[in-house]
Structure 1
Amino acid sequence: MNASRVLVVGAGIAGLALARALCQRGIIAEVVERATDWQPSGTGLYLPANAVRALHELGIGPAATAHANPIGRQRLLNHRGRLLANIDLDRIWDGVGGCVAIQRAALHESLRQATAEVPVRLGTSVTDLEIGGAPQVTFSDGSTGSYDLVVGADGVHSTIRNLALGGPPATYVGQASWRFVADGFSDITDWTVMLGRGRTFLTVSLGQGVVYCYADLNTNDPATAASEDWRRAFAGFAAPVPLLLDQATEAYFAPIEEMVAPAWTARRVVLIGDAAHASSPNMAQGAAMALEDALVLAEMLTADQPVEQALAGYVQRREARVTWVQEQTHRRDRTRNLPTTLRNLTLRLAAERIFRSNYGPLRDLP
């Protein structure tokens, strides 16, 4: 490979996973992160089996899953707590591996420890980027650098995507969301979603009575939703939602946004993770796609081929897979927004078949 000077912009899951994958192949990238410190996130993640498989390929599977809680079932209920479907995840992911839930901070810490030798400059962002045979980068501290490759791993509102490709901006998909972690619920041991009309409430056990909670509702006005007491929208949901909401005063708010970038590369600049293809979280594939991106890009970059050819190969291998995930998120949204009676009947009769179809292609290696 003729790209030994690699700049990774963003030290989240995608950026550190790529730094780790490159380290495994003898390349030490430089990483910059606009955050000024390593602020631990209080929210959680549900990682389907393809994400866990990717962690093992990165060599951090045991370290990460030591802090994770196995998830063997996904239960779908109506908002009153009546069971619609009970999905056995071993049947969905047979031959791939198990699914887990983990605190986001714990996963991030595992990635940080695995990339301890990688130089990371906190409080540093990219302010200018000149694309060419050796991209020229200007940083927020006034320093500059010349690189063989610049990787935008800087999330759905990517600066690198804007500088290199001129956008586009992320698209709001019509849902506002809140995330928080609650404690003291040892009776919650799995993944359970309650479906109301235009709103959902998800609980995922992180182990030892700690629960990751995710709530969303359909709205054309996310700013108003953010300013009001969102918990009132879930007041009619069955137990344990009312008790969980008592611990939601500091919930993290975010509008759900999607990114369908017309291109992921520009000469020797490439996008990975949410910077390239953010999607609704209803497939729980955000982290999985970022981890897979990192593995595939590192593999292509360390093959005996020019950088531009490696980037083209990366896009070719990844584009259909992430497009599939985005299409499935749209289908899931359409299903959950069916008239209540029809939605409930559909899930009672066909939930496992729908799940098998959703995740089928993701059982294969990326």
Structure 2
Amino acid sequence: MRVLIVGAGIAGLTLSALLRQKGMVPQIVERADDFHASGYMLALFPMGNRVLHGLGAYDAFRAASEPMDTYTMCNGHGEPMQTFDIAGALGKYGDTRQLSRADLLQLLRNAAPDVPLRMATRVTALVDHGAEVEALAEGESLGRFDLVVGADGIHSTVRQHVAGEIAMRPTGWGGWVWWAPAAAAPRTKVTEYWGAGRFVGVYPVRDRVGVIAAGPIDEIGHARIGGRGARLAELFADYRGVAREPFAAMPASDRDMFFWALEDCRAPHWSKGRVVLMGDSACAFLPTAGVGASMAMESAAVLADELGRSDARGVALALQHYETRRRRRAEGAQTASRRIASMMFISSIPVAWGRDHLMKFYSIEEFGKEIERSLSEPI
């Protein structure tokens, strides 16, 4: 089966390695010039790293990551509201660990290094020829394929072919992300600060710490920061505790950080003819639940499973089964991330005070129920 994967992110590289394991040799195209700007930190829950077991890449994953043993939720004054024992709650299913996106991409690429990968290539059009799909990049034909997989992220061009223009669902918030030295936060411990109109998250990975400082876009975006990292630090001057140290290591210019508009989207359907969506192109996640990478890897595993029991003539049925198995699960996790965002992203001081009071009674069972449900259900 001739398969083109558009996008060499987590979903695309996972699928390429799984298909290679089944004897297929897909082709991958990626619009970025290289992997140098390949993102920051992420968490991988057991439902994601189970896929790495299947690829024989689990030991490499452990070597590249840090365990996420505890998660502490603080208010904007730095006072702990809850500390959750992640390792204890989810350990029966496997490890929950954190690593940089670049490290995860590298180990996924290492799982299938012979799969052809062409960088700096943007697919601009797909032409349906019935039994084949032709992919065009700036007018150049990349060939004809039995299947094209759109794994090209939240701003997917392949999604336009499948479902037309899809409006983003904004939260009105955005966040600046940067790396701080490993000494800026305790290892294995995630700490988040939920303030009124401000949020700080501190996430240790191997050899460094990922940091995000978030707030309403009109207060924290490019127009307000004006190219000065110091201005961002001023907006969070009242934050204390673990949140304070990463600001001392913040780059002087916002050009050396990444601004993340906190929004998501949901495609109304995932396939059209011989073109299918996967990962953020199908169902994009806010970072609030931390499950986006795990969901993308699960989707790749399911699509590879369906394709492994099909040939070129049966692609339509394989895609139908893939969407049936994945869509409800992915959209359920996305809804959970939206619900958490509604609690995190609060600008009103009185409402934030009420939220903080309620969070003191939030149990580990409540915190982990969506993740535990995902882990207990087969894919």
> TM range, normalised to the smaller chain?
over 0.9
Deviates further, 119-128 or 33-42: 33-42
**Given the alignment, which residue of 259, 276, 296 partners 1:270?**
276
- Counterpart residue type for residue 327 of structure 1: T
Aligned-partner residue type, residue 303 of structure 2: L
Q: Which residue of 2 aligns with 1:335?
A: 343
What does residue 19 of structure 2 align with?
A: 22
Alignment counterpart, residue 176 of structure 2, candidates 175, 178, 188: 178
Q: Deviations over 1:79-116 (max 9, x none)?
A: 22211111111343142111111122111111111121
> Counterpart amino acid of 2:354?
L
The residue type equivalent to 1:311 in the other structure is: L
Distance 2:142 2:368 in 1: 49
Identity of aligned residues (%): 31
Secondary structure at the counterpart of residue 143 of structure 1: strand
Higher mean displacement: 95-104 or 133-142: 133-142
Moved more, 57-66 or 96-105: 57-66
Determine the C-alpha separation between the residues in 1 that align with 2:32 and 2:139. Answer: 13
Q: How does 1:195-210 map to 2 (within 5 A)?
A: 195-208=194-207, 210=208
Cα distance between partner residues in 1 of 2:315 and 2:82: 47
Matched, 1:252 2:258: yes
| Whole-angstrom CA distance in 1 between matches of 2:28 and 2:6 | 6
Q: 116, 133, 136: which is aligned to 2:134?
A: 136
* CA deviation map 1:220-247 (0-9, x unaligned): 5755356463333221111333331122
Change (3 A) 1:71 1:184: closer
Amino acid at match of 2:179: V
Q: Which residue of 1 aligns with 2:300?
A: 294
- Which position in structure 2 is the counterpart of 1:161? 159
Judged with a 3 Å threshold, the aligned counterparts in structure 2 of structure 1 residues 224 and 113 are, in CA distance, closer, same or farther, namely same
Comparing 180-189 and 94-103, the one that deviates more: 180-189
Q: Is the 8 A contact 2:286 2:334 kept in 1?
A: yes
Once the two structures are superposed, the pairs formed by residues 191-230 of structure 1 within 5 Å of their partners are 191-208=190-207, 210-219=208-217, 222=221, 224-225=223-224, 227=226, 229-230=231-232
From the superposition, tell whether residues 125 and 187 of structure 1 become closer, same or farther in structure 2 (CA, over 3 Å).
Answer: closer
Please list every run of 5 or more consecutive structure 2 residues that lacks an aligned counterpart in the other structure: none
Q: Name the amino acid aligned to 1:343.
A: R
Match of 1:55 in 2: 52
1:307 match: secondary structure: helix
SS at match of 1:116: coil
1:127 aligns with 2:154: no
2:71 pairs with 65, 70, 74, which one? 74
In structure 2, relative to structure 1, the CA distance for the partners of 1:204 and 1:144 (3 Å cut) is closer
The root-mean-square deviation of aligned C-alpha atoms, in Å, is: 2.0
For 2:185 and 2:210, the matched residues in 1 are separated by 13
Q: Secondary structure at the match of 1:215?
A: strand
Please say which of residues 266-275 and 196-205 is displaced more in the overlay: 196-205
Q: Give, in whole Å, the separation in 2 of the partners of 1:128 and 1:207.
A: 40
TM-score scaled by length of structure 2: 0.90
Q: Specify the alignment match of 1:349 in structure 2.
A: 361
CA distance in 2, matches of 1:169, 1:226: 26
Task: Tell me the amino acid that sits aligned with residue 169 of structure 2.
Answer: T
Please give the alpha-carbon distance, in whole angstroms, between the structure 2 residues aligned to 1:115 and 1:329. 31
Please tell me whether the aligned partners of residues 162 and 272 of structure 2 are also in contact (alpha carbons under 8 angstroms).
yes
CA distance in structure 1 between the partners assigned to 2:76 and 2:168 by the alignment: 31
* Whole-angstrom distance in 2 between the partners of 1:38 and 1:106: 10
Cα offset for 1:152?
Answer: 0.3
Show CA shifts across 1:37-61 (max 9, x none).
2325362212222222222233211
Task: Note the C-alpha offset of 1:184.
Answer: 4.5
Contact 1:42 1:180 in 2 (8 A): no
Report how far residue 171 of structure 1 moved.
2.7
How far apart, CA to CA, are the structure 1 residues paired with 2:362 and 2:303? 36
Distance 2:294 2:30 in 1: 21
Distance 2:195 2:249 in 1: 21
Aligned positions of 1:106-125 closer than 5 A: 106-125=103-122
The TM-score with structure 1 as length reference comes to 0.93
1:258 alignment partner AA: D
Of 235, 243, 246 in structure 1, the residue corresponding to residue 245 of structure 2 is 243
Distance 1:225 1:153 in 2: 33
Change (3 A) 1:331 1:133: same
How many residues are treated as equivalent by the alignment? 362
Task: Give the unaligned 5+ runs of structure 1.
Answer: none
Q: Which amino acid aligns with 1:191?
A: V
Q: Is the 8 A contact 1:76 1:85 kept in 2?
A: yes
